[in-house]
A and B are shown apart, each in its own frame.
Chain A
Amino acid sequence: ETGVTQSPTHLIKTRGQQVTLRCSSQSGHNTVSWYQQALGQGPQFIFQYYREEENGRGNFPPRFSGLQFPNYSSELNVNALELDDSALYLCASSRPGTVNTGELFFGEGSRLTVL
């Protein structure tokens, strides 16, 4: 059983650019969530997708958007990048039996640096 995989692992962008981060969920997991972890902080919830629909959103502006595909893989898109968007972006999936308990399986993350 493969785990949650994310790509790219590291990337550097400049202010104003757009970025797409990708995630492959763990096999059998139909819910995917994205979190942003700034340096020295805990992860912050961006949004969750279930059956290709957004199923909850945190306090992030609309320039943060996402997609979930039929194979449960997912993308996080961020437009008009700002310096404060520099962070580790974590993708997490949950299996049908534990989706309401908070037990998530996280990928290693994509570290974004905005210059």
Chain B
Amino acid sequence: DQQVKQNSPSLSVQEGRISILNCDYTNSMFDYFLWYKKYPAEGPTFLISISSIKDKNEDGRFTVFLNKSAKHLSLHIVPSQPGDSAVYFCATYFQGAQKLVFGQGTRLTINP
């Protein structure tokens, strides 16, 4: 039962352009939605989050959008930089369960 899905295993974007990563979820009870970034041989690093009561959160080049009616989450990176090349995981958090539920990840490659 996959509650969080990232349907694109990989994405390739030109440096300077916008990267858009997508995520779908099935459970409406989640309290927070988060994005984590993972480089090889490192643990995931928290990137940005959004509360379930909001529809947009921005932090520098990173913006997360939440569409509750469509149960869809997206991460926009503008402009994309080579250092953004990594695997990106979306995750949901339900305070009652005290756990993160992760998607399968999307490998983002930024081309010079």
Contact = CB atoms under 8 A, between A and B. Distances in A.
Interface of A: 4, 33, 35, 40-45, 48, 55-56, 58, 90, 92, 99-109
Contact of A42 (B31, B42, B95, B103): B103
B32 A101 contact: yes
A42 B43 contact: no
Nearest to A9: B41
Interface in B83-112: 89, 91-93, 95, 97-105
A81 to B, nearest CB: 22
Contacts, number: 64
Contact of A45 (B32, B41, B100, B103): B100
B45 interface: yes
12 contacts: A35-B102, A41-B105, A42-B89, A42-B91, A43-B89, A48-B99, A55-B98, A100-B31, A101-B32, A104-B44, A106-B36, A108-B43
Which A-B residue pairs are the 3 nearest by beta carbons? A102-B93, A42-B102, A106-B43
Given A4-B43, A108-B42, A43 B32 contact: no
Contacts of A103: 34, 46, 49
Contacts of B89: 42-43
Interface residues of B, number: 27
A30 B17 CA distance: 40
Interface in B52-108: 89, 91-93, 95, 97-105
Interface in B1-30: 4, 6
Contact of A90 (B44, B101, B104, B105): B44
A101 B4 CA distance: 17
Nearest to A40: B104
A55 B96 CA distance: 11
Contacts of A106: 36, 43-45
